[in-house]
Structures are given as C-alpha cells and as structure tokens.
Amino acid sequence: MNIPVKTIIESLIFISLEPLSKEKIKGILAEFSPEEIETALLELTTDYNSPGRGIKIIEVAGGYLFSTQPELDSWIRRLLHSNRKSKLSPAALETLSTIAYNQPITLAEISSVRGVDASHALKTLLQKKLIKIVGRKKAPGKPLLYRTSDRFLRYFGLNSLEELPSAEEISKMLEEEDGK
C-alpha cells in the first residue's frame, strides 16, 4: 500500500494538540526526503486554505495546527455553549508588548517602561500562561525574569517572535504617522 506523504502528514497534524513542527514531522517520516515533506506540506496547506472549507491549517509557534475559519465562530460557540472569547485588557496587552520587546524583563523594569505598576497585569498574564518565569536576574533582590511563552505566539497567530515588527520598524511607523 502506498500512502502519499501528504495524507500521512494530514493525519499527524490532525491528532496534534500543540503546533506540530516541521522538524518533528521530518523526524517521524524518516523514510521520506525533506524535500518531499516540504512539498507535501505546501500542497496540504494550500488544499485546506482554498474556499469552501470549515477548517484550515495555520502556522503558529513554529508548527502546523488545524484551526476553524473565523466566519464559523458563532456556530462553534453554539456547540461549545461558549460566549465570544474575551479580549485582553489594555493594561494586560501593554504589559505583554513590553515583555515581548524587552525580554527577559523584571516587574520593576516593566512598570518603569509603562509608568504604572504592572503587578496585577503580570499576574493575569501568568495565569493565562501567555508569559512564563524564566529565572532570576543577577541584581539586588534577585527579581524574577519574565518571557513570553509559546502560548503567546499561538494566541496572536505568530509563528515566531521575529514575526513581530522590530522596534526600528515601529519607530519608523511612528515617524511616518507624525509626518502626516
């Protein structure tokens, strides 16, 4: 029996809870060449991302994952008896971007950038597992250091931190805005 590699990969992504990385797929499917796998992945994502499908394959946090199409939100919420997913508060979001652009970072440093105490927002983000503690800073009081987590990437649909616009790009954007 000759099962196409595309079909196998489809099943692997389907069964994965966490984004399934290319490296992992290649490791599992050692009998196929990396090129074959790359091509199959490309075909598979194109297949799914064509119109008329309820699900698509997204690339987040360094891997592939099945996701529903956004326009089906209300139907899924009927099934799950769920309300619209709640957004992060402005304070939490601001704290999160401070961490994303300055990681690893301590609470005092976050509060200093934001100009307000960030401890409450930090707690919320830890509970939502959008950030994680990665150690302690070698500084007086040995404060805890925070980083964004894989769940952070997944939450915002980012494949890696590099997908965020760089600090320089943001400065440029702001200058252009000011120029208007």
Binding site for another protein (CB under 8 A): 15-18, 58, 65-73, 76, 80, 84-85, 87-88, 90-91, 93-94, 96-98, 100-101, 113-117, 126, 129, 132-135, 149-151, 155-158, 164-165, 167, 170-171, 173-174
Q: How far is the CB of 157 from another protein (least distance, A)?
A: 5
Residues 6+ positions from 44 with CB-CB distance below 8 Å: 6, 9, 10, 13, 57
Q: For the CB of residue 63, give the shortest distance to another protein in the complex, in Å.
A: 11
Q: Least distance (Å) from another protein to the CB of residue 138?
A: 16
Cβ proximity to another protein, 8 vs 126, nearer residue? 126
Instruction: Give the tokens for residue 83.
Output: 């309300």
Residue 41 or residue 146: which is nearer to another protein going by CB? 146
Return d(Cα 82, Cα 127) in angstroms, integer. 20
Q: What is the distance between the alpha carbons of residues 171 and 165, in angstroms, rounded to a whole number?
A: 10
Residue among 177, 178, 173, 150 at smallest CA distance from 63? 150
Provide the minimum distance between the beta carbon of 2 and another protein in the complex, in angstroms, as a whole number: 26
Q: Among candidates 85, 87, 80, 48, which has minimal Cα distance to 64?
A: 48
Contact in structure between 100 and 151 (CB atoms under 8 Å)? no
- Our CB check for another protein shows the closer of 21 and 39 to be 21
CB 3 to another protein: min, Å? 21
Instruction: Select 8 or 144, whichever has its Cβ closest to another protein.
Output: 144
